[in-house]
Amino acid sequence: MADATETRKTPRAKAFDLRRQPGFAAAAWACIIFLYAPIVVLIVFSFNDNRSVVRWTEFSLRWYTEAFANEGIQKATWMSLKVAFVATALATTFATMAALATTRVARFRGQGIVFAIINQPLMIPEIVTAVATLSFFSLIKQATGWQGVGFLMLAHTVFCIPFAFLPIRARLQDMTITLEQAAADLYATPWAAFRRVTLPLMAPGILAGATLAFVVSLDDVIITLMIAGPGETTLPIYILGQIRRGITPEINAVSTLLLGLSLLLVSLTFLLGRKRSRA
């Protein structure tokens, strides 16, 4: 009896707590400061009336007004949105089909290779993908004489597929198949079961994947810089070109707007992910 009492009084071993280790708090705060301080400076000086990006004078919306009136920014923004919308629609469609083909079938030999092929843009350095795509498209252009923004849209579609695929596949994996089987037992055709049962249930994953693909396409620089032809300047490429001439508050304003749009879309993806986890 005494042994049992002594056993109960023996303190349990404490779990390893990284937060209590010496220097952890300082390192964490340093990471946060160096990560977010430049963004805060960018946003603050986008509202600076002075043309200087290092000396504050007074609050003003001058540079936002000039950015909205800038014809070059307007054209670059329209090109970015056009490419992003087309790439998102195509990438989400292909990603949905790939997710269905890899989750609603029995496990097959070579399934891991299929996943690796679909996620290839995530594993290969983007500069390598950009150079390879440029070489491949150059051969097509030389052989066919085709030109145009379609090549840029196709390149964006390809590297956006895995970003759309991951949340869609995750949603399908979390979904029980019993409802689809019940629909089949009630004599629903495969198309009717997909349209009335599967598609509504996987809608949060599709929306999350489409949102993520749109953000990735909208913010891309490396592949766009390699593939874009004359008159196909997107907003990130326009900003990069302006920075080479010197940073101005107008570029800060455009970057702040682009940051706000990206944060809005990423927040939407997060909210859709929470909805998926609760479903």
Rounded CA separation 53/72 (Å): 21
Residue at 18: amino acid letter: L
Residue at 262: amino acid letter: S
Rounded CA separation 9/131 (Å): 66
Output the pTM of the full model.
0.81
Q: Which domains does the chain have, with CATH numbers?
A: 23-60 (no CATH), 70-278 (1.10.3720.10)
Rounded CA separation 239/221 (Å): 10
Asked if residue 218 lies in contact with residue 80, where contact means CB atoms within 8 angstroms, the answer is yes
Specify the length of the chain in residues.
Answer: 279
> What is the pLDDT confidence band of residue 279, given thresholds at 50, 70 and 90?
low
| Portion of the chain with pLDDT greater than 90, in percent | 29
Measure the CA angle with vertex 78, ends 75 and 81; round to 5°.
150
* pLDDT tens for each residue of 67-111: 899 898 899 999 999 999 999 999 999 999 999 888 877 777 777
pLDDT reading at 9 higher than 60: no
DSSP state of 20: G
> What is the pLDDT confidence band of residue 273, given thresholds at 50, 70 and 90?
low
* pLDDT tens for each residue of 219-247: 899 999 999 888 889 999 998 888 887 77
Q: What is the mean pLDDT of residues 182-193?
A: 84
Asked if residue 152 lies in contact with residue 227, where contact means CB atoms within 8 angstroms, the answer is yes
Rounded CA separation 262/135 (Å): 30
Q: What is the mean pLDDT of residues 33-60?
A: 87
Cα 177 from chain centre: 28
**pLDDT, position 93:** 95
The phi and psi torsions of 58 (rounded to 5 degrees) equal -155, 160
